[in-house]
Homo-oligomer: A and B are copies of this chain.
Amino acid sequence: MKQFTQFESRDLGQELIDLGLEYKFNPRLDIQKGQGKRIGCIFLNPSLRTRVSTQIAAQNLGMEAIVLNMDKEGWALEMQDGAIMNKGTVEHIKDAAGVLGSFFDVLAVRAFPTLTQKQEDLSDFVINQFIKYAGIPVVSLESAIRHPLQSLADMITMQEYQVENRRPKVVLTWAPHIKAIPHAVANSFAEWSLGMGYDLTITHPEGYELDESFTKGATLEYDQSKALEDADFVYVKNWSSFQDYGKIHSTDPSWMLTQKHLESAPNAKVMHCLPVRRNLELSDEILDSDRSLVQVQAKNRIFAAQAVLSKIIE
């Protein structure tokens, strides 16, 4: 495996899920595997779970991890090829990624979208510039349009909580938020759920349609209550408009998931990638109930990252 930035195939997905679960039960199984290998974790944006789980995953493999908050401890990177750098950017991605590529064995990068430059975001410009110039394997810690380590952790979680003897119904439901939120988690969750063969329904207010390249094969249902019927897994997530790029069209509080919404889905487990805005996206009553898998998902971030790093360094 050279990069880990998106869903590749059901076979590879299953292999990573199984390896992640193996590590969950024996975190230091491969403590010798990464000896002498070094990962650089480059953050252009804030992080809690991703930052810590990636470091722990590396430590569990015996790797040395170095974290660089490029936005705070470094400086602004120029991303445009051919730019005349007489403004605010201090170093070109070409040079910075080249150097980091020569310092490390693996580079892990977090680079959020602008939510204003749609074409640039859609090309996953920043992480692809890192890949282009680093010359070593790159792991996405969430890019402009995907968050594959989150989705792998989500797939591990759904396998752990799978229902017996039938194909589970998975629902991705939009939730209200006060800020314009990227599409990465929703995109990746759709990409991985569909890729792994789940029956996926997506529900949201009109105008919040996701990029079809991620959702092809899913059922779109604007009626949230209908979408939630008999759901096994309900993934709650806000995202801003994709068509009217980066804009907030609705904050309709009736879309916030509560126990009442789940009356027609008595067995539904509820998922969220965290951080979650309580009582805005999701009610306390759900998050604090047995339905909630959010802490399981978070814990599985370690083993998702560990499975990916393990494959990359072998």
Contact = CB atoms under 8 A, between A and B. Distances in A.
Contacts of A279: 82-85
Nearest to A103: B52
A218 interface: no
B46 A277 contact: no
Contacts of A287: 94-95
A90 B277 contact: yes
Interface SS of chain A: helix, strand, loop or mixed? mixed
Nearest to A279: B84
B277 A85 contact: yes
Contacts of A2: none
A274 B91 contact: yes
Contacts of A75: 46, 48, 275
A297 to B, nearest CB: 9
Interface in A75-106: 75, 78, 82-87, 90-92, 94-96, 98-100, 102-103
Interface residues of A, number: 58
A284 interface: yes
A180 B52 CA distance: 34
Contact of A73 (B43, B91, B103, B178): B43
B48 A91 contact: yes
A151 interface: no
A221 interface: no
Interface in A15-56: 28, 36, 38, 40, 43, 46-49, 51-53, 55-56
B284 A48 contact: no
A86 to B, nearest CB: 5
Interface stretch (A63-71, A141-149, A193-201, A260-268): A63-71
B55 A66 contact: yes
Contacts of A70: 48
Contact of A295 (B52, B98, B278): B98
A226 to B, nearest CB: 27
A95 B299 contact: no
Nearest to A74: B48
